[in-house]
Amino acid sequence: MTDAPPAAVPPAVRTLAAGWHRAECWLAMAAFACVAALLMFDVLGREVFAPLLRALGVSVGATTVPGGPKIAVFAMVVGAFCGVGIATATNAHLVPRVGFGWVPAAWAPAVARAGDLFTGVFMLGVAWYGLQFVLASKGTSMRAPVLNWEVWPFQLAIPAGFASAALRYLMFAAWPGLKPPPPEVQE
């Protein structure tokens, strides 16, 4: 192990990481807003508007978005896999405390970099398998029931989320100063 200080984070890398994080946060927020809106509209239409209109003598057909719950599931998948990258960017993953303190404190920075490198490579492997899953769905033209939409465009969130985390871990290994400190209380 060497005592050489880690390389400073180039400003362009820091700017790229911040913009990337902001974009993922906006996409996740939009996805979860879509979930909330669809489910609220579904419940309000079914439990409030339909009975009210029927009580007023108005003949009502469907009072919900056709396929709304299914669309909400797809939006949830997108939001959830954005969360993998967001948790990595903010260093907010759940971390088991097994093995902490097993190496001398002087080795901690090198061990952390090695851990980030290993995790980045592992996540790239997971992203690759996720991509194989998506390609299999695309190859079989798998479609969502009710909507009759191909599912693979939504499934792309799976390898994208893991690739996002992988690239961040690799960036943390290259530039440890880019990795934010863990939260004060981490599960």
> Cα–chain-centroid distance for residue 32?
11
In a domain, 101, yes or no: no
In a domain, 5, yes or no: no
Paired tokens of 165: 């985390």
Q: Which amino acid is at 165?
A: A
So what's the pLDDT on residue 3?
Answer: 54
So what's the pLDDT on residue 66?
Answer: 86
Q: Which residues of the chain have pLDDT under 70?
A: 1-6, 185-187
In a domain, 77, yes or no: yes
pTM for the structure as a whole: 0.86
CA dihedral 57, 60, 65, 70 (to 10 degrees): 110
In a domain, 183, yes or no: no
So what's the pLDDT on residue 63?
Answer: 73
Sign of CA dihedral 181, 79, 171, 167: positive
So what's the pLDDT on residue 60?
Answer: 78
Distance CA 84, CA 119 (A): 13
pLDDT in tens, 75-119: 999 999 999 999 999 998 877 777 777 888 899 889 989 999 999
In a domain, 6, yes or no: no
Q: At what angle do helices 157-174 and 108-139 cross, to 10 degrees?
A: 160
DSSP 49-79: IHHHHHHTT------S-TTHHHHHHHHHHHH
In a domain, 129, yes or no: yes
Which residue range(s) make up the domain with 70? 11-94+106-178
> Cα–chain-centroid distance for residue 185?
22
Number of structural domains, the chain?
1
In a domain, 1, yes or no: no
In a domain, 184, yes or no: no
So what's the pLDDT on residue 86?
Answer: 97
